[in-house]
């Protein structure tokens, strides 16, 4: 199948991007013609929104057969490989994009509810194991994204290496996750303002301000998005490091007496003994796993950004390894400290109006317990910035996924429109328009709207991560079966196929745990039957949506599981002649000292 591709498609990914002025040192025909014309700012701005004529190849390659209920996997692979997205992101952008998409309400606020349900030991165990699972998943994603830095990333990999119907379900699952997260995070941001100004009538104004700010950033293109995430993430990382240092000092000399007043005593692991390290037994631990998975959601954005990275083979492996370890250390260390400063039976952990209510944040509560008057407000500002950062990532994630789906004929074709600045314009407009749902924050149904939006996105990351692991397993099998060797891979997952099996298995376990805790939640004895039904659907709504999309598309398009011998391992492949380069790099590694080998393995 791969050898039958026409010569016009047997080109390197760099050549496929050569039409773009940002991906070449030479000016394009468009820029060359216009250099002689003095244009006003308005004219330059309006022309930047036009589709570049050289980008039309992505549609012509798949236009044939639009009227037939048959999926052309080869044409879809060509379309994602030749997407005219611009390569404007650098390594520092990649690292901070992954951090910015992860450190948010899951860490700062939702961890409080997890602490209340499971106790500090369950919180630490769940986040540590989820971090290990995500390590395996992100390494698998890195191997695929370095070799195939195509538009759509993991959704496209599901289409190419699993089943086009599953790729359709995963693509729309991921797009819907981010489409819903935007209003969700804007609602969350408006709720954080309630920490200072408790006036529901003003929520609509805050929603408008936050929505306009996020939309403007994304309309300035991928580089503006990368720079914004870099700034947001620096603030968040600095805040977490500062909290860790503060938490150590508070633990040593900021203990409280039985009346909750600071007495300057050493705390240590006092709260692990009373009220205890675990709460609600094994069910409490399972409920904490779900929160941990939600908190780590967004780390996979680094793979989605590969198609817009200057040099994926060089920057992506470093970003994947370093970013993951930074996130893991931030989560585990900060939550370890939280568990020593806030008892799981503190009523404030469950008194929040929603999963975005900073009054229920264990980070804020621990600072309040220490008697520090100003710092809780500072921490609330950091939480608001974190929420806006995730909202910013949501437009990026949903728009790129929608554009890639359209390129593969799995979404309306107008969403594939990419302008001369590399922006998927209509996809960004649709993503931004969904943000208007956030105006529900000004209504009396604020909490219900928040919960149901969260229900649509709750399990999405679990399906995405599991699909990445399964796609990597299938890719490796096809790679060997079609006569390739692992030495030909520019980047190889250090945990290999075994790590992908571990990641896939853990994601399945989390799905089972979520089903159990959704059907029989912690404290279910105090809830009515109707409340239990609502709780289950809010906890597991994403699963039936994915199944319906998969079965519906499979029946309509009559797709089948891709056989390993038929998988396309050529289209979109970057660095076609890397064998000698990789061999030279690996020979150089043999001379590295042991400490450097360990460091490079981890970072």
Question: For residue 580, what pLDDT band results from cuts at 50, 70 and 90?
Answer: low
Q: How far apart are the first and last CA of the chain?
A: 37
Q: What's the chain's average pLDDT? A: 79
Checking if the pLDDT of 386 tops 50, the result is: yes
Q: What CA–CA distance (Å, rounded) separates 202 from 285?
A: 38
Q: Are 394 and 97 in contact (CB under 8 A)?
A: no
The pLDDT of residue 170 is 94
Higher pLDDT, 259 or 203: 203
All structural domains of the chain with their residue ranges: 86-572
Enumerate residues 6+ apart whose C-beta is below 8 A from 542. 173, 177, 455, 456, 457, 458, 459, 460, 463
Q: What CA–CA distance (Å, rounded) separates 325 from 37?
A: 50
- Find the range with the poorest average confidence among 322-326, 393-397, 402-406: 322-326
Hey, which of 11-20, 317-326, 427-436 has the most confident mean pLDDT? Answer: 427-436
Helix axes 164-193, 425-434, angle to 10 degrees: 50
86-572 fold: Amino acid/polyamine transporter I (1.20.1740)
* Percent of the chain surpassing pLDDT 90: 22
Enter the pTM of the model. Answer: 0.85
For residues 28-48, give the mean pLDDT: 58
Q: H/E/C letters for each residue in 49-86?
A: CCECHHHHHHHHCCCCCCCCCCCCHHHHHHHHHCCCCC
Enumerate residues 6+ apart whose C-beta is below 8 A from 38. none
Residue 485 — φ and ψ, nearest 5°?
A: -120, 160
* Tens digit of each residue's pLDDT (9 = 90 or more) over 470-521: 999 999 999 999 998 888 888 889 899 999 999 999 999 988 888 888 777 7
Question: For residue 185, what pLDDT band results from cuts at 50, 70 and 90?
Answer: confident
Q: Are 299 and 95 in contact (CB under 8 A)?
A: no
Q: Are 395 and 228 in contact (CB under 8 A)?
A: no
Q: What CA–CA distance (Å, rounded) separates 516 from 539?
A: 10
Alpha helix stretches (DSSP H) within 194-263? 203-219, 222-253
The pLDDT of residue 172 is 94
The pLDDT of residue 171 is 92
Sign of CA dihedral 411, 412, 417, 423: negative
* Tens digit of each residue's pLDDT (9 = 90 or more) over 142-167: 999 888 888 777 888 999 999 999 99
Higher pLDDT, 375 or 162: 162
* Tens digit of each residue's pLDDT (9 = 90 or more) over 63-112: 444 445 667 777 777 777 777 777 777 777 877 776 766 788 788 888 88
Higher pLDDT, 501 or 39: 501
The pLDDT of residue 333 is 92
């Amino acid at each position: 199948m791969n050898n039958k591709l026409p010569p016009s498609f047997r080109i390197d990914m760099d050549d496929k991007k050569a039409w773009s002025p940002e991906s070449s040192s030479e000016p394009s025909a468009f820029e060359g013609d216009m250099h002689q014309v003095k244009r006003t700012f308005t004219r330059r701005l309006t022309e930047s929104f036009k589709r570049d004529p050289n980008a039309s190849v992505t549609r012509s390659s798949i236009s044939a057969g639009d009227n037939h209920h048959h999926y052309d996997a080869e044409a879809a692979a060509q379309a994602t490989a030749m997407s005219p997205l611009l390569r404007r992101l650098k390594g520092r952008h990649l690292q901070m994009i992954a951090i910015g998409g992860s450190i948010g309400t899951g860490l700062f606020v939702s961890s409080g509810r997890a602490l209340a349900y499971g106790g500090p030991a369950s919180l630490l165990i769940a986040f540590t194991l989820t971090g290990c699972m995500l390590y395996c998943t992100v390494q698998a994603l890195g191997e695929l994204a370095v070799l195939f830095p195509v538009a759509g990333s993991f959704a496209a990999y599901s289409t190419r290496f699993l089943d086009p119907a599953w790729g359709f379900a995963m693509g729309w699952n991921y797009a819907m996750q981010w489409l819903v997260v935007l209003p969700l995070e804007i609602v969350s941001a408006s709720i954080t303002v309630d920490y200072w100004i408790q006036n529901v009538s003003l929520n609509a104004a805050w929603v408008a301000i936050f929505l306009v700010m996020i939309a403007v950033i994304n309309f300035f293109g991928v580089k503006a998005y990368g720079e914004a995430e870099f700034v947001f993430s620096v603030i968040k990382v600095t805040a977490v490091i500062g909290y860790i240092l503060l938490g150590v000092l508070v633990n040593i000399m900021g203990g409280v007496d039985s009346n909750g007043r600071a007495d300057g005593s050493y705390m240590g692991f006092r709260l692990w003994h009373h009220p205890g390290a675990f709460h609600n037994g094994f069910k409490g631990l399972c409920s904490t796993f779900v929160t941990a998975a939600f908190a780590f959601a967004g780390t996979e954005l680094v793979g989605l950004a590969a198609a817009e990275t200057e040099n994926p083979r060089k920057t992506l492996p470093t970003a994947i390894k370093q970013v993951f370890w930074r996130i893991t250390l931030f989560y585990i260390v900060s939550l370890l400290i939280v568990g020593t400063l806030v008892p799981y039976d503190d009523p404030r952990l469950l008194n929040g109006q929603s999963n975005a209510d900073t009054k229920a944040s264990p980070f804020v509560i621990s600072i309040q317990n220490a008697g520090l008057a100003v710092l809780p407000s500072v921490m609330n500002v950091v939480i608001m910035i974190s929420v806006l950062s995730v909202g910013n990532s949501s437009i990026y994630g949903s728009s790129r996924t929608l554009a890639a789906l359209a390129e593969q004929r799995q979404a309306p074709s107008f969403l594939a429109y990419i302008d001369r600045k590399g922006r998927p314009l209509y996809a960004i407009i649709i993503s931004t328009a969904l943000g208007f749902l956030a105006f529900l924050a000004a209504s009396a149904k604020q909490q219900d709207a928040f919960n149901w939006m969260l229900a649509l996105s709750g399990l999405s990351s679990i399906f995405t991560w599991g699909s990445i692991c399964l796609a990597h397993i299938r890719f490796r099998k096809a790679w060997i079966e079609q006569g390739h060797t692992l030495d030909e891979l520019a980047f190889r997952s250090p945990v290999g196929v075994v790590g992908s099996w571990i990641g896939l298995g853990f994601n399945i376990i989390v799905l089972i745990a979520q089903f159990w805790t959704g059907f029989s939640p912690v404290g279910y004895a105090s809830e009515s039957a109707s409340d239990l039904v609502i709780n289950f659907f809010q906890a597991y709504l994403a699963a039936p949506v994915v199944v319906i999309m998969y079965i519906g598309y499979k029946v309509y398009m009559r797709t089948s599981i891709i056989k390993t011998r038929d998988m396309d391992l050529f289209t979109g492949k970057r660095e076609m002649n890397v064998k000698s380069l990789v061999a030279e790099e690996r020979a150089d590694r043999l001379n590295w000292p042991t400490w450097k080998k360990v460091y490079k393995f981890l970072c």
